[in-house]
Amino acid sequence: MLNARPDGFVDGSLSAVQWGRSFPSGPVMCSSSSGWDGALLRRWVDTPFAMEQPKLDHHYLVLHLGGAKHVTRRRDGPSVDADVKLASITAVTAGAAHSWFTRGPTDYAHMYIKPSVVDHVVQEHFDRDPRSVELTDCVGSESPLLRALFVAMLAEVETPGPVLRLKLDTLLQAVLVQLICERSTVGATTPTAQHRLGPSRLRRVLDFIEANLAEEIALDDLAAVAGSSRFHFSHAFRDATGCPPYRYLVNRRINGAKTLLLQSNLSLEQISARSGFKSSAQFGAMFKQIFGTTPSRFRREY
């Protein structure tokens, strides 16, 4: 796609990090410190109203924050003048250079995505040769589903403590599928073959989860145990268990913590750590959401 090299990057372009160094100040939020490398999430506030964006080796999505604004785009491709609503989406393809002019609040969240990652989803989910499919750009597009997924990823990264990689992997997968459906030339697709997760493979995955509840588990880890691709694994796991992988993982962690509350004298901090939660506050919030009471009250009453 887009004249990419075999490693997925576009010739004669800068990385998102290199471009970011040209900004007058750094991002107010960045996912690189979280340890998750599925994509790069950054939030920028009070950037210049006129900005030059060079060719980048990543695609990127923009979530417009702070309020409505007017955005003008020049250089590569048709010029665009758009009244951009709050929480609308702009998509910029790798290898395109633009001049941006903004009238209104300069508050944005960016999601930078490697072309090779998009190509993988095109091939795996849509059963198409990535060389035959290109992303298309947009400025200030209304996309409620992409917006909701983007906001959920930002919330996970901005929550104090380690991120839940499995949740971010799952959300990113959904973003890419929706992005390709909305903003690409994929057109009619060949239905992907059904990939059933048989009893023995499902048991291997469930045993792996039980043995690693206190550890960080990524979607790739579970797919590797199942001997499947990430996309096919997610759908097959949901078909086999009735819920997506990250929801199953959260439920198992909560129920394991419930057992420790009843059968041990461990503190809430120790129980949350052993159960794989990023903090006792997150553990308490999820426990109350599921059981309708706090962990300490549950322990006293039962």
What does the pLDDT look like over 158-188, one tens digit per residue? 887 666 788 999 999 999 999 999 999 987 5
Going by pLDDT thresholds of 50, 70 and 90, the confidence category of residue 124 is: confident
Q: Is 151 exposed, middle or buried (0-12, 13-18, 19+ CB in 10 A)?
A: middle
Please provide the CATH number assigned to the domain covering 247-301: 1.10.10.60
Going by pLDDT thresholds of 50, 70 and 90, the confidence category of residue 144 is: very high
Res 9 pLDDT > 80: no
Structure tokens of 217?
């588990």
- pLDDT value at position 195? 59
Res 192 pLDDT > 70: no
What does the pLDDT look like over 228-260, one tens digit per residue? 878 788 888 998 999 999 999 999 999 999 999
User: How many beta carbons lie within 10 A of that of residue 276, not counting itself?
Assistant: 22
Angle between helices 245-263 and 199-211 (to 10 degrees): 50
Is the Cβ–Cβ distance between 101 and 129 less than 8 Å?
no
65: nearest Cα among 3, 109, 2: 109
Residues 8 and 10: their CA atoms lie apart, in Å, by: 7
- pLDDT value at position 249? 93
What are the sequence ranges of the domains in the chain?
Answer: 16-182, 199-242, 247-301
| DSSP assignment letter at 31 | G
Please provide the CATH number assigned to the domain covering 16-182: 2.60.120.10
Query: Average pLDDT in the 144-151 region?
Result: 97
Res 155 pLDDT > 70: yes
Is the Cβ–Cβ distance between 60 and 42 less than 8 Å?
no
Q: Please provide the average confidence, as pLDDT, over all residues in the chain.
A: 88
- pLDDT value at position 143? 95
- pLDDT value at position 194? 47
% of residues, the chain, pLDDT over 90: 63
Query: Average pLDDT in the 11-40 region?
Result: 89
- pLDDT value at position 234? 87
Res 43 pLDDT > 90: yes
